[in-house]
Amino acid sequence: MTLRLHAASLAAPHDEHGEIPWSKQDSWKLFLKNTPFMSYISRAKAAFSADYSDKLKLINVPTLIITPSYDKLIGREAAKQMLDGIPEATEVVLENTGHMLRFSHPITYAGTIEAFIKEKIK
């Protein structure tokens, strides 16, 4: 039940129109197969209690922040916090994507990473 609710909170209106159509049920199956219950509980506790924002300034490597245009689980503030905290971080907002964009838009996701790496190794 918990994983179903989590999968529902990850859903975006763009998922079904992605390069690979994605659904709430696809997320649920993915989590069910790959997330043991105690692992999920530990991740949830860490997400609500850990705060590493003061450590972001210590990151000194090229950093790409890929942000979906629609993400009601994490939200815009998380990307802004990383962008503001990591020196010289680069953000790319992928339009018409949601939280599960690696699965629904894998070509766009991979292309964004590839372009960033090529730019940094010039």
pTM for the complete prediction? Answer: 0.85
**What CATH number is given for 2-120 in this structure?**
3.40.50.1820
Domain boundaries, the chain: 2-120
* 76/21: higher pLDDT: 21
d(CA 28, CA 106): 18
Q: What is the pLDDT of residues 6-41, one digit of tens each?
A: 778 888 999 999 999 999 999 989 988 988 888 888
Contact between 82 and 55 (Cβ < 8 Å): no
- At 43-73, the pLDDT tens digits run 888 888 989 999 999 999 999 999 999 998 8
Structure tokens given for 8: 């529902």
Of residues 36 and 101, the one with the higher pLDDT is 101
Q: For 1-122, where are the E strands, in sequence order?
A: 64-68, 90-94
- As beta bridge partners, residue 92 has 66
